[in-house]
Chain A
C-alpha cells in the first residue's frame, strides 16, 4: 500500500538503465560464481559467496526503497489544534537540555512544553520552572524512554504530541511545518530529519574546500526515508516527530519491550492501517556523537532494537503490513547483518594470503570478465541511487568503523536480553575511546601481516598462483587502508575535540579594548563562551588583554566581556593581527538569547552555503537529465559586518556583506530584516582594511541549498555599487535604532524589532 496522491520524484531513466545493467551484471556474475567454488574449501567458498549474495540482495532492497522519493510541501496548519511537546531526558546535562527547552518553547503555534525527567533531578525541575515548562518525573524508569513517554501521555491531554530528544533543538517553524499533515485523519505521525548542529562530530566529514558537509546519516534522512515514505513505511525515529495521541492509544501507547520504541511503535501503527508522513526538511538540530564511543553505542542500540522488533513482531509475518512495508522494514533490519558480510570481506584476503587457500578457482581473464563489471556497477549504482548523498568511499570507512558493532548487535536476535547503554550526549570523549577501534586494529594487524607473510609463503611454497597473490594483496591493501583511515580519523577526532561547538556564523559586532578604543568588525566561529573577531585590529592588542563588547543578534545587541586568548596574524606580517580569538562571558539573559539564536537553526548552513550533496557521475555528465546539487554562491564567499542606510545620515540596519573567496564575481548582502530593493542605499563595511562608503542597489536573491532553508534570513544581490563621495557621520552601532520605513521579512513578524 503506497501513499496515494503523494508527489514523488522517480529515479531518472538514465539511472534506471544503470540499475538494469547492474542487475544483469550481478546475476551473470553470481551465477558464474557458483561453478567456481574451491572443492577443497567448501566452507570458505560458501562464506565468501554468501557475503556476495547477501550484498546483492540488500542492494536490490535498497534500490526498491529509493526508486521513488516523496516530495512533500507542508500544508498550513489549521488553528486550534492542541499540542504537547515532550522532551524526555535521563542523564543529559542541564546545559544541553536548556538549549532544547529554549528552542521548544520558542516554536510558533500555541503549545505546552513538558520536560520528562527520568533522572528525577532537582536541577531539571528548577530549569523547567525557570523556563516556564511543565516538569514530570516518575518513581521508576520502567520501560526506559517508552515508559517515560507513556507516563507523560497519561498525564497530558493534547491531541498531538511532538517529541524531541534532550539534545534536539527545534526550529521556530517546526510545528507550523508539520501540523498541517494531520488534517488527514489517517496520519498517525509526521517524522522530520534528525539533523545535527555540531558539524565537527564523529559522523561528519568535510570536503569541497570546507563547504560540503557530509554526514553518515545523510543517505538515510535525505533519500531512504523519502523512499520509504512513498510506500507509507517511513518510520518514527524517536525524536523530531509529531504523533497523534488517538493513534497511539489504539496500540496501547509507545511500544515497550524493545530498546527502539520508535521503530517498534511505527511498525504497530502501520500494521493498524495508519499513515505516516516524512517531511524531509530539516526542522530540528541535535548533537551528533562527538566521538567513536557514543557513535558505536548508538548503532549497537539501534541494531539490537531492530533485532528485538524483528523477533517480537515478526517483520515478514506481521499481520496488517503491506508487502512493500514488510520489504521496507526488512531492509532496515537487514542493514545490521552487513556487519557479518563486511567481516568476511575484511578477513578473506588475509586468510587467502596466509593459508594459500582460495575461495574460488578460475582463470584470471574469466574472473576479470565477470567480476569487474559487477564490482564497478555495484559502486556506481549505489552512488546514483543515493542521489549524491551516498558517498561510497566515505561510507566504506564508516562500514569499517561500525562492522563489529553491527555484527554484535545482530546477536540480540538470538540473545534478546543483551544489555545496552543510553547514548551519552554532550560528554567529552574519554581517553579510553580508542578501545572502540579494536576491531579495526584486528583487521589492520591480520591484513598487514598477511601481506609480507603471504608474499614470503608464495616464494617459498607456491601454494598460491601469482594472480591470486596479486588480487588478494590488493584486496588486503584496501582493507589496511580502510582500517588505517578509521583509526587515524578516530585518533584525530579525539585530539581535536572542542568542549563546545563553535558555530561558523557571522555577526556584526563591536569590541572595546582596555584603552577605550572601539573596533567594529565581524564575529564568527561563535559558541556561548568563545568567539573569533575579524576587524581592523590595533597592533598592541595581545593575548591576555581584557575587552568588552557586544554582538548583534536579530533581537538586539548582546553585551559580553572577556579576554583575548589568541591572535591570528596576517600572513607575512607577524605583528599585524587579522583576527583574535576570545573567551567571553555574558549575562544570563544574554546567554539565553545567544543560545536561542544559535541552536534550533540552520543559519550556519545558509550563511556558508554548506551542502551535504555532491555530484554523481551521471549528474555531472547529464545535468539536464539527472538531477544533481545546485551550486550555492554563498559557498564561495565569506562575510563582513556592514550596515546600510536609506538616508545618508539616517538610522542604520546591520547586515553582512559578502567578500568573494575565489573567482566569485557577485556580491551579496544578507539581513535578518527585509531591505528596500531597487533604490539607492548607503553601505558601510567594517573590515581589516578601510573601505569607503558606497551607494548601492539591491535585488532579492533566492538561495538554493539545504532543503527549504530557514526563512529568517533575507538575501540580496548587489545590483549597482559606486563610491559615495560625500562625507559621512555614521552613528555608533550602539545608537542604531530600527528604521520603521524598512519593511519586515515575511514570516518573521512574530519577532521583536531587530538591530
Chain B
C-alpha cells in the first residue's frame, strides 16, 4: 500500500513538475524514486541575473522514506567570484527545515530555522564540462556535495553526490541522460546509505 502511495506521489509530482516547468515557474526540478525513498527538489531564480551578478535562488526539497520524511525551503543570495574561464558562485541564506521519523526505535519530529551556506563551481573541463555544488546547513549538521561531469559529444553526464546529516549518510553515483526534449534529463544510479544500496530512477528539468 505504501509503495503504491509512493508511486502515486511520484506520478503526481512528475505531472506538477512538467506543468510548472512548461510555465517557466521554476528553473530546476528533480524527482527521484528508489526502493527506499522518493525525493523532490525545486529551485527557482529570483529575478534575472548574469555571470557577474547571479540571481538569488529559492529552493525547496522533500524526501519521504519508509519510516520518515524530511523537507526544507530556503532563500540563498549568491555572489560571483571573478575567474577567467571558470565560474565560482558562493551563497548564503536562511531556510526552514523539518524532519519526522516514525520508526519505532527512533520516533522523533523537529523543525528549525537554519543557516545555509553554499558554493558552486562550473565551467569547461578536459573533454567536457563540469558542475559542482557544496552546501552546508546548520540543521542537523547537514552538508551535501555533488559533482557532475558532462563529456562533449555524449548526451549524458556522470554524477556523484555525498549527503550527510546527523544519523544518516549516503553516497550516490549515477548518470544523467539528456532526452530529446531540451532541458529534460533522466537520472539513474545507485545510492548507498546506512548499509543499504538501492538503485534510483529520476527525472530532471534544468533551465539554468
Is A41 a contact of B153 with CB atoms below 8 Å? Answer: yes
Instruction: Evaluate whether A446 and B190 lie within 8 angstroms (CB atoms) in the complex, with A44-B155, A355-B156 already known.
Output: no
A558 in the interface (beta carbon within 8 A): no
B111 in the interface (beta carbon within 8 A): no
Partner of B190, one of A442, A453, A464: A442
Partner of B179, one of A43, A355, A432, A439: A355
Q: For the complex, what is the distance from the CA of A540 to the CA of B190, rounded to whole Å? A: 56
Is B188 a contact of A355 with CB atoms below 8 Å? Answer: no
Partner of B188, one of A40, A44, A356, A446: A446
Q: For the complex, what is the distance from the CA of A453 to the CA of B186, rounded to whole Å? A: 10
Is A355 a contact of B199 with CB atoms below 8 Å? Answer: no
Stretch at the interface among A146-154, A218-226, A346-354, A373-381: A346-354
The SS class assigned to the B binding surface is strand
Is B197 a contact of A354 with CB atoms below 8 Å? Answer: no
Q: Which residue of chain A has the shortest Cβ distance to B174 in the bound complex?
A: A442
Chain B residues whose CB sits within 8 angstroms of the CB of A432 once the complex forms: 195-196
A445 in the interface (beta carbon within 8 A): yes
Chain A residues whose CB sits within 8 angstroms of the CB of B196 once the complex forms: 432, 435
Partner of A40, one of B128, B153, B156, B197: B153
Q: For the complex, what is the distance from the CA of A19 to the CA of B39, rounded to whole Å? A: 52
A479 vs chain B, min Cβ distance (A): 13
Is A354 a contact of B186 with CB atoms below 8 Å? Answer: yes
Is A354 a contact of B178 with CB atoms below 8 Å? Answer: yes
Q: For the complex, what is the distance from the CA of A435 to the CA of B196, rounded to whole Å? A: 7
Chain A residues whose CB sits within 8 angstroms of the CB of B195 once the complex forms: 432
Is A457 a contact of B188 with CB atoms below 8 Å? Answer: no
A37-63: CB near B (< 8 Å → 1, else 0) gives 000111111110000000000000000
Is B188 a contact of A357 with CB atoms below 8 Å? Answer: no
A364 in the interface (beta carbon within 8 A): no
B8 in the interface (beta carbon within 8 A): no
Chain A residues whose CB sits within 8 angstroms of the CB of B127 once the complex forms: 43
Instruction: Evaluate whether A47 and B154 lie within 8 angstroms (CB atoms) in the complex, with A356-B180, A446-B201 already known.
Output: yes
B179 vs chain A, min Cβ distance (A): 5
B153-193: CB near A (< 8 Å → 1, else 0) gives 11110000000000000000011011111000010111000
A368 in the interface (beta carbon within 8 A): no
Within 8 A of B (CB), among A334-376: 347, 350-351, 354-357
Chain A residues whose CB sits within 8 angstroms of the CB of B186 once the complex forms: 354, 446, 449-450, 453
Instruction: Evaluate whether A461 and B181 lie within 8 angstroms (CB atoms) in the complex, with A43-B127, A355-B156 already known.
Output: yes
Q: For the complex, what is the distance from the CA of A445 to the CA of B198, rounded to whole Å? A: 12
Chain A residues whose CB sits within 8 angstroms of the CB of B179 once the complex forms: 354-356, 453, 457
Q: For the complex, what is the distance from the CA of A438 to the CA of B199, rounded to whole Å? A: 6
Chain B residues whose CB sits within 8 angstroms of the CB of A44 once the complex forms: 153-155
Most chain A C-beta atoms within 10 Å of own C-beta, residue among B152, B155, B190, B198: B155
Chain A residues whose CB sits within 8 angstroms of the CB of B35 once the complex forms: 441
Q: For the complex, what is the distance from the CA of A176 to the CA of B45, rounded to whole Å? A: 80
A463 in the interface (beta carbon within 8 A): yes
Is A41 a contact of B154 with CB atoms below 8 Å? Answer: yes
Most chain B C-beta atoms within 10 Å of own C-beta, residue among A43, A463, A464: A43
Q: Which residue of chain B has the shortest Cβ distance to A41 in the bound complex?
A: B153
B201 vs chain A, min Cβ distance (A): 4
B151 in the interface (beta carbon within 8 A): yes
Q: For the complex, what is the distance from the CA of A442 to the CA of B156, rounded to whole Å? A: 15
Chain B residues whose CB sits within 8 angstroms of the CB of A40 once the complex forms: 153
Q: Which residue of chain B has the shortest Cβ distance to A45 in the bound complex?
A: B153
Q: Which residue of chain B has the shortest Cβ distance to A439 in the bound complex?
A: B190
B160 vs chain A, min Cβ distance (A): 14
A425-460: CB near B (< 8 Å → 1, else 0) gives 000000010011011011001100110010001101
Partner of A449, one of B152, B190, B197, B201: B201
Is A351 a contact of B189 with CB atoms below 8 Å? Answer: no
A356-B155, A445-B201 provided; 19 other pairs, C-beta below 8 A?
A42-B152, A351-B154, A354-B178, A355-B177, A356-B180, A435-B197, A435-B198, A438-B198, A439-B190, A439-B199, A441-B35, A442-B188, A442-B190, A446-B177, A449-B201, A453-B179, A453-B186, A457-B180, A460-B181
- What are 20 sample pairs from A and B whose C-beta atoms fall under 8 A apart? A42-B153, A43-B151, A43-B152, A44-B155, A354-B155, A354-B177, A355-B180, A356-B155, A357-B178, A435-B196, A435-B197, A436-B197, A442-B174, A442-B188, A442-B190, A449-B188, A450-B186, A453-B179, A463-B180, A464-B180
